[in-house]
């Protein structure tokens, strides 16, 4: 039995050894798969799939280009490294099939079809985004993953092209890096110069969206046809040089981009005041040149460029050293690194693919099989059956290459996109910082910041100093008024009223007024000339609509509107206003008349509450002083009737400091001193207020302000063309039929004088600067009533995102700080007959309890403290006087209480009142007599005790 069991174990051991020898040459996907396969083999032997001896990978790019000349040796080096590495693709040779796209969409598409005929499992390329758009359809149809190391077009999305994968950075991130730099430098408008293909157009489209989020914009898009000659480039640069913006973003191909700077140099566009920002194409071209010619560097002085940032690792340094042997006559650019990593990415993914026991199979596409009769031989193309699974493996890869960590996010973009910010100066580029979507602009390498929380706030952005074109270190303004450009078109309202603010003039520049002088003074402070033409807006018969004037600026019919233009919310949505140069706001003007004198005017200085509290305190303090003086002062004693009269007399006589009673007690004097101080303040305030009421002219109006005007149903006058009408109707819900538009000051005065019953208006609602002029010309017959119910100002309206608006605001602030605005105001608005703007309301000038409650509080606290001390003294004296009833009497009372079950008799309230009513001298005599009696009784008790002791001696 034991021998049979041993034979069975031996047979199992032999089968296991055979199984191990069979499985050992083949690599499985992992330990879990190997163990499962081994266990299944022991049960029923199933051989693993045979690996192919080689796999084909396609490579499609333009050989004769900066990117292609660097990519081809990188491909070959990567292929050799993969085949020489025994840890990857054991026993499988990786073949790269090359095809030249020759920078042609048609040839590139044909080359892609030829690659697919070789049954490639993946294709690397193309470098051109235009070709990538076309051959992505081929990759989708044949299920072949397409890994591009150079196509950066943001629209190559995974939704439209599921088999397209980018191993380089997406231009979406580069355009946001450029936007951050533009925002960091404070520019609001740029001109985009780009090659007119998918990569150029779509990249600039993303740039426009990114700038819009920063309240900036692309003022002009200048497209260059691919392969444009020098004359075409020259014509384009001449046209953009006539525009205001001097910030140029150049997004073109590396092979032809340097021609732009050569032409710009000849046109004098590489000097001071210009800003040139180049995308990654420029560092690609410069890195490919080894060394860069001096003439080329002279063209690029002051240019800012962005280059793909690749982490500095030992792998990268080894590759850079190796490159000197691979391509000694040329430098290495970032696309060579991405090409090298693309090959290794496919190799590692294939290794995982085969470890998972997958196989490579192809089948005919039924859609292409129907075209078998065609001479194109499309039926020769085969579908990679395992392409979808292989693509999933590629997307899930996570390893480190020469470009850094290789990992893809949910949108199939490389994680942690980053760029170097370069400033080209001297003999080469100088790095001034970095950009990453994790921290924005920074002088610290991005990988050191990934461990910290993301922070792209404006305060966190920083770069080293940049030397701009013309060898200047101060950031250029970014825009100018070119000498051969169009002058600024300035719209000025052609007013028929209040012409001191702005009006037509026969002399140059054709307009005059307060607003014009402020605008001209601000222009003189700008560090650059501003050519300008003033254009009157309106027919001169009535004031123009200011809302329509703003719409003209929005429609680009004018560059700026200058005049008495109110800054309101609705207008700020469409134009940019400068800093206000004068304060404004809506007020109500109404007819006024002199108030009639009242026989009760002497009561007006105080409010009812003030009178009541003052009277109550007079009585209260009188009572307190009587309590404190009653035991000490004979003048506060006597019959009850006399004492009541004394309290009233003393209370109110203190108002005139004529009280005849003298205070004797210390507490009474303390209370009286505090109260006399309160009376002094109240008398002085009353006298001053009454004097003002009786001597100052009192004006009254039946319209008390905007609230009473709203509740009434009377007509309201407004200035024609201003925003006051819309505000009353839309914001205050006043009926439009109540609004009466008035043309000028004469209409204002006549409408107010007529009144609502005679065809006039009850009041006028207008802005404060106009009302100041109106009241002066009316000889103060009208006044403003109520408070100013809006707060705003006047400013100059520029087109949206105009850089001139910012400079003008700074200039206006400077005018205000230096006092120039006040000088201009006195020049135009120096009124000879000034009158009080607002009528004085007697009720608002009354003195209320709010102004004096502190005094009453101090007086009340003093009285409370004095009373507390007084009653404490009285109670102490009362306790001292209690034993006078006799100890025997109190003992008998205690005995009777214990027998009857009743408590001791409480001290009588009448006794306490008697003690309070007694004079202080009498109390002191009683206490003195009591103390002497106690002394005598103690002496007599001691003598009797002594005699008793002597009688007991034998």
For residues 734-762, b (16+ Cβ closer than 10 Å) or e, as one string? beeebbbebebbebbbebbeeebeeebbb
Comparing 15-29, 163-177, 274-288, which segment has the lowest mean pLDDT? 15-29
**C-beta pairs of 756-761 under 8 Å, 24+ apart in sequence:** 756/714, 756/715, 760/715, 760/717, 761/714, 761/715, 761/716, 761/717
> In whole angstroms, how far apart are CA 377 and each of 131, 368, 369, 380, 421?
22, 9, 9, 6, 49
For 754, the enclosing helix (H) or strand (E) is: helix 745-754
Q: What is the pLDDT of residues 315-330, one digit of tens each?
A: 999 999 999 888 877 8
- pLDDT of 40 above 50: no
- Confidence label for 11 from pLDDT (cuts 50, 70 and 90): very low
- pLDDT of 918 above 70: no
pLDDT of residue 330: 84
- pLDDT of 627 above 90: no
**Which of the residue ranges 532-541, 673-682, 691-700 has the most confident prediction, judged by mean pLDDT?**
532-541
pLDDT of residue 427: 87
- Confidence label for 225 from pLDDT (cuts 50, 70 and 90): very high
pLDDT of residue 368: 66
For the chain, give the mean pLDDT: 83
- Confidence label for 14 from pLDDT (cuts 50, 70 and 90): very low
pLDDT of residue 908: 60
| CA dihedral sign of residues 581, 586, 590, 595 | negative
pLDDT of residue 600: 72
- Confidence label for 665 from pLDDT (cuts 50, 70 and 90): confident
What one-character-per-residue DSSP string does 188-231 give?
-EEEEEEESSHHHHHHHHHHHHHHHHTT-EEEEEEEE-TT--HH
Angle at 487 between CA 483 and CA 493, to 5 degrees: 160
- The span from the CA of 621 to the CA of 650, in Å, is 9
Q: What is the mean pLDDT of residues 248-269?
A: 94
- The span from the CA of 295 to the CA of 282, in Å, is 15
Pairing of strands 532-537, 488-493: parallel
- The span from the CA of 398 to the CA of 406, in Å, is 6
Q: What is the mean pLDDT of residues 731-737?
A: 92
Number of neighbouring beta carbons within 10 Å of residue 123 = 27
- pLDDT of 924 above 70: no
Residue 103: CB partners within 8 Å, gap ≥ 6?
A: 62, 64, 65, 128
- What share of the chain in percent tops pLDDT 70? 81
406 or 628, higher pLDDT: 406
Q: What is the pLDDT of residues 710-724, one digit of tens each?
A: 988 899 999 988 889
Q: What SS3 state is found at 396?
A: coil
Q: What is the mean pLDDT of residues 783-797?
A: 90
3-class SS shares of the chain: helix, strand, coil, % to 5: 50, 15, 35
- Confidence label for 418 from pLDDT (cuts 50, 70 and 90): very high
- The span from the CA of 533 to the CA of 524, in Å, is 16
Comparing 577-586, 705-714, 792-801, which segment has the lowest mean pLDDT? 705-714
Angle formed by the axes of helices 853-881 and 666-695, nearest 10°: 160
Angle at 605 between CA 599 and CA 610, to 5 degrees: 120
CB 172 within 8 A of CB 154: yes
Number of neighbouring beta carbons within 10 Å of residue 623 = 15
Beta bridge partners of 740: 717
- pLDDT of 373 above 70: no
In the 8-state DSSP scheme, what is residue 305?
A: E
Token pair 């309230």: residue: 909
**Which of the residue ranges 605-619, 641-655, 752-766, 769-783 has the most confident prediction, judged by mean pLDDT?**
752-766
Q: What is the pLDDT of residues 328-346, one digit of tens each?
A: 778 899 999 999 999 999 9
- Confidence label for 785 from pLDDT (cuts 50, 70 and 90): confident
- pLDDT of 43 above 80: no
Q: What is the mean pLDDT of residues 571-580?
A: 95
CB 237 within 8 A of CB 220: no
pLDDT of residue 647: 72
Residue 639: CB partners within 8 Å, gap ≥ 6?
A: none
How many helices (H) and strands (E) in the chain? Answer: 31, 33
pLDDT of residue 19: 33
pLDDT of residue 267: 94
Comparing 87-91, 180-184, 672-676, which segment has the lowest mean pLDDT? 672-676
- pLDDT of 899 above 70: no
Comparing 176-180, 636-640, 865-869, which segment has the lowest mean pLDDT? 636-640
Comparing 104-113, 285-294, 589-598, 785-794, which segment has the lowest mean pLDDT? 589-598
Comparing 100-109, 207-216, 422-431, which segment has the lowest mean pLDDT? 100-109
Cβ burial of 431 (10 Å; 0-12, 13-18, 19+) is middle
What one-character-per-residue DSSP string does 768-800 give?
HHHHHHHHHHTTTSEEEES-----EEE--EEET
- The span from the CA of 628 to the CA of 636, in Å, is 10
């Amino acid at each position: 039995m034991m021998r049979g069991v041993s034979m069975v174990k031996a047979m199992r051991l032999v089968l296991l050894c055979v199984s191990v020898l069979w499985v050992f040459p083949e690599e499985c996907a992992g330990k879990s798969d190997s163990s499962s396969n081994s266990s299944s083999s022991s049960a029923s032997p199933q051989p693993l799939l045979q690996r192919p001896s080689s796999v084909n990978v396609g490579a499609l790019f333009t050989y004769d280009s900066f990117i292609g000349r660097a990519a081809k040796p990188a491909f070959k080096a990567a292929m050799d490294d993969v085949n020489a590495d025994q840890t990857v693709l054991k026993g499988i040779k990786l073949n790269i099939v090359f095809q030249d796209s020759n920078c042609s969409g048609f040839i590139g598409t044909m080359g892609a079809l030829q690659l697919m005929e070789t049954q490639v499992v993946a294709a690397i390329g193309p470098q051109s985004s235009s070709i990538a758009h076309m051959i992505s359809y081929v990759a989708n149809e044949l299920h072949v993953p397409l890994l591009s190391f150079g196509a950066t077009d943001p629209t190559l999305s995974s939704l439209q092209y599921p088999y397209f994968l980018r191993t380089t950075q997406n231009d979406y991130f580069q355009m946001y890096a450029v936007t951050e730099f533009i925002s960091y430098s404070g520019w609001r408008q740029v001109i985009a110069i780009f090659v007119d293909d998918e990569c150029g157009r779509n990249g600039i489209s993303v740039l426009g969206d990114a700038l819009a989020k920063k309240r900036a914009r692309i003022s002009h898009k200048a497209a260059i046809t691919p392969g444009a000659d020098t004359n075409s480039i020259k014509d384009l640069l001449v046209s953009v040089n006539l525009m205001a913006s001097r910030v140029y973003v150049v997004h073109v191909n590396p092979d032809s981009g340097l021609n732009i700077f050569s032409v710009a140099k000849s046109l004098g566009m590489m000097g001071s005041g210009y800003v040139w920002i180049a995308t990654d194409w420029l560092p690609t071209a410069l890195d490919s040149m080894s060394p860069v010619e001096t003439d080329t560097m002279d063209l690029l002085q002051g240019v800012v460029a962005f280059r793909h940032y690749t982490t500095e690792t030992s792998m990268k340094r080894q590759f850079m050293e190796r490159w000197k042997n691979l391509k000694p006559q040329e430098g290495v650019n970032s696309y060579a690194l991405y090409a090298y990593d693309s090959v290794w990415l496919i190799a590692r993914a294939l290794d995982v693919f085969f470890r998972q026991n997958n196989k490579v199979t192809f089948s005919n596409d039924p859609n292409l099989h129907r075209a078998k009769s065609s001479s194109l031989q499309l039926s020769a193309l085969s579908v990679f059956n395992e392409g979808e699974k292989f693509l999933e493996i590629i997307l899930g890869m996570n390893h480190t290459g020469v470009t850094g960590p290789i990992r893809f996010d949910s949108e199939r973009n490389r994680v942690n996109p980053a760029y170097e910010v370069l400033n080209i100066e001297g003999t080469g580029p100088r790095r001034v910082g970095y950009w990453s979507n994790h921290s924005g602009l920074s002088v610290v390498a991005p990988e050191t910041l990934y461990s910290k929380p993301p922070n792209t706030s404006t305060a966190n952005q920083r770069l080293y100093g940049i030397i701009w074109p013309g060898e200047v270190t101060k950031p250029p303004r970014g825009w100018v008024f070119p000498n051969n450009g169009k002058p600024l078109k300035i719209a000025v309202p052609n007013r028929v009223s209040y012409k001191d603010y702005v009006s037509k003039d026969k002399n140059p520049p054709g307009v005059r007024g307060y607003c014009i002088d402020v605008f001209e003074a601000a222009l003189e402070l700008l560090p650059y000339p501003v050519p300008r033409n003033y254009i009157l807006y309106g027919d001169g018969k009535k004031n123009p609509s200011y809302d329509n004037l703003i719409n003209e600026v929005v429609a680009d019919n004018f560059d700026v509107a200058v005049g008495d233009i109110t800054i309101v919310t609705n207008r700020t949505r469409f134009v940019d206003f400068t800093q206000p140069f004068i304060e404004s706001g809506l007020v109500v003007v109404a007819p006024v008349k002199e108030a009639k004198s009242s026989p009760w005017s002497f009561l007006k200085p105080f409010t009812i509450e003030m009178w009541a509290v003052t009277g109550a305190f007079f009585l209260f303090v009188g009572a307190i002083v009587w309590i404190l003086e009653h035991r000490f002062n004979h003048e506060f004693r006597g019959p009850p009737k006399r004492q009541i009269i004394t309290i009233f007399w003393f209370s109110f006589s203190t108002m005139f400091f004529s009280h005849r009673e003298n205070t004797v007690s210390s507490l009474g004097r303390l209370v009286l001193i505090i109260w006399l101080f309160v009376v002094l303040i109240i008398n002085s305030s009353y006298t001053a207020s009454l004097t003002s009421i009786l001597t100052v002219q009192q004006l009254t109006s039946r319209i008390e302000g905007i609230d009473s005007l709203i509740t009434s149903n009377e007509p309201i006058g407004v200035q024609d063309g201003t925003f006051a009408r819309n505000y009353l109707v839309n914001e205050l819900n006043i009926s439009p039929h109540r609004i009466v538009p008035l043309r000028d000051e004469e209409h204002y005065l006549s409408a107010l004088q007529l009144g609502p019953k005679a065809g006039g208006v009850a009041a006028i609602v207008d802005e404060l600067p106009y009302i100041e002029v109106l009241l002066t010309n009316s000889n103060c017959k009208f006044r403003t009533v109520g408070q100013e119910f809006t707060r705003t100002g006047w400013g100059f309206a520029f087109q949206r995102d105009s850089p001139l608006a910012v400079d003008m605001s700074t200039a206006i602030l400077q005018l205000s700080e230096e006092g120039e605005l006040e000088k201009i105001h006195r020049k135009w608005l120096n009124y000879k007959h000034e009158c009080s703007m607002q009528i004085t309301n007697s009720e608002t000038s009354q003195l209320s309890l709010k102004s004096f409650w502190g005094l009453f509080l101090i007086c009340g606290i003093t009285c409370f403290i004095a009373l507390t001390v007084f009653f404490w003294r009285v109670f102490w004296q009362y306790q001292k006087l209690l034993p006078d009833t006799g100890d025997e009497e109190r003992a008998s009372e205690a005995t009777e209480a214990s027998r009857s079950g009743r408590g001791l008799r409480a001290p009588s309230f009448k006794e306490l009142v008697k003690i309070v009513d007694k004079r202080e001298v009498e109390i002191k005599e009683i206490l003195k007599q009591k103390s002497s009696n106690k002394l005598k009784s103690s002496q007599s008790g001691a003598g009797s005790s002594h005699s008793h002791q002597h009688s007991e001696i034998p």
